[in-house]
Amino acid sequence: MILTVTLNSSIDKLYLMESVHPETVMRVKEVHNTAGGKGLNVSRVAAGLGEPVVAMGFTGGFNGRYLESLISGPLIRCAFTHVSGETRSCINCWDLSTGRSTEYLEPGEPVTSEEVDRFMSDFLRELTGADCVVISGSMPKGVPEDFYGRLIRRCREASIPVLVDTSGSRLISAVREKPSLIKPNEDEIAQLTGRPFSGREDAVPSLQQLYRSGIPHVVLSLGAEGALLACSEGVFHGKPPKITPKNTVGCGDSMVAGFAVAFSRRLPFLEGFRMALAVSAAGALSLLTGDFDPADYQRILPEVSVTRIA
């Protein structure tokens, strides 16, 4: 079972629009509502790959109840900590004429120290049945900056692998506790290593530095060019076949889900790397975030290439 943590969950609203014109009245062509937040995207994709998931985080108010009602997959069990604040909403306006999107992300209502303590108790209860933990995204106000570090420490004490996909001070706190996998972007790698990062030529020594610091798996996404992975076997470049994407929002979460499934099933890690790249590419072929067609995944998987580069 994969345990996902989404502390700043949201109702994600995808607005499909014929075209976007600022400072005018615009009619939305279609609306798609999903249970949002990076960890919930991970949850849906991991369940789509056949892995049971327990989804945790904070939910509150009418939006919180609606969010939980949107999680209907048979392999996902909700174990949210209920709080007094209303769950936020986030809006993605997709311009069908250009293929570009604009996102509006609410910050999320603050939580209390008592609510944070209740979440920790809930987390420790669910942790006993987990094969892998995924901690993703931002935190609402009221959660201590080092909270992800505390969760990682608990996972390490229980000998359960933990994957982290976050940014800023949350990432710095997490890295101190040596999670099993991180997926920073180029700016975050430069911040973590103190090395300038001006392109692909800087990637390999930076990834190796983070690996040698005690993080067993370090992943850098390269968009359409795939991803780089530093691990005990070296540094690898994985690349999916060329596709025509429909929506790249959430593809990084799909990649994390593939890695989480690999950890949960104790797969050889390069096999997990191929899985992560394939499901991320399949996700880009769906308009919905945290979604993929299994037929696309099965078609793409054998076409993913993985090459050792260091």
Tell me the pLDDT tens digit for each residue of 253-302: 999 999 999 999 999 989 999 999 999 999 999 988 889 999 999 999 99
Angle at Cα 252 formed by Cα 176 and Cα 143, nearest 5°? 45
Question: What is the arithmetic mean of pLDDT over 243-252?
Answer: 87
User: Is 187 designated active site?
Assistant: no
| Residue tagged active-site, from 12, 165, 253, 291 | 253
User: Which residues touch 300 (CB under 8 Å, ≥6 apart)?
Assistant: 240, 241, 243, 278, 281, 282
Angle at Cα 305 formed by Cα 160 and Cα 303, nearest 5°? 105
Q: Which domain holds residue 244?
A: 2-308
CATH number assigned to the domain comprising residue 228: 3.40.1190.20
Tell me the pLDDT tens digit for each residue of 30-48: 999 999 999 999 999 999 9
| Least confident stretch, 45-49, 74-78, 195-199 | 195-199
Tokens 């790959």 appear where? Answer: 49
**pLDDT score at 154:** 96
Taking CA atoms, 197 is separated from 2, 114, 203, 218, in Å, by: 33, 41, 7, 16
- The total domain count for the chain is 1
Tell me the pLDDT tens digit for each residue of 116-166: 999 999 999 999 999 999 999 999 999 999 999 999 999 999 999 999 999
DSSP structural state of residue 193 = H
d(CA 264, CA 195): 33
| 0.85 surpassed by pTM | yes
**Better pLDDT: 249 or 125:** 125
